[in-house]
Amino acid sequence: MEILKMNEATLKKKHKGRIIFLSICGVLIVLLLTLYLMASLVLCYPWTTGLNANKLKKDFPPTLFVLSGQDPISQKAKKYVKDMESTGLEPDVIEYENAVHSFIESNNPEGMIENSVDMSDVINSEQQSLAREAETAISEWIFDRADHPAGSP
């Protein structure tokens, strides 16, 4: 905070009123990051956050569920998928029967935790292979939608 105040004083001298704009940008960045994280939670676990599938509109964006066959959370998502389908939506679902919870995140460097408990059931060659396969499928799904947005021929 002290460094910020020193920089702010220096900026005020050199740039006068522009510091207000910088402050607003900083707040907007924090707000956008917060909204992004909240959206991630809603999108990852919509059935736990009160997003009711029965109230979704027909213009709801394309939705992809990547499910782990060995994960209780993924199994709960199947009901939500059925609820979406019953409202006329067509979510895409990819299920990896042998995948465990966090198989994608745990098999990437940023998912590694130095002093963690035994993760051999999550971090192993099978889960790594499934993670690479899922990442490829997700990329293809995204690019397919970019090439053919909803409502286009």
Rounded CA separation 95/141 (Å): 14
Domain extents for the chain?
1-44, 52-153
Give the tens place of pLDDT for each residue, 32-64. 444 444 444 445 555 555 567 777 777 778 888
Decide which of 31 and 118 is more confident. Answer: 118
Give the tens place of pLDDT for each residue, 99-115. 888 877 776 655 555 55
Distances (CA, A) of 6 to 13, 16, 29, 115: 11, 15, 21, 37
Predicted confidence band at 97 (pLDDT cuts at 50, 70, 90)? very high
pLDDT at residue 138 tops 80: yes
- 97 is written with which tokens? 């029967």
Average pLDDT of span 22-31:
41
Which residue(s) pair with 64 in the sheet? 92
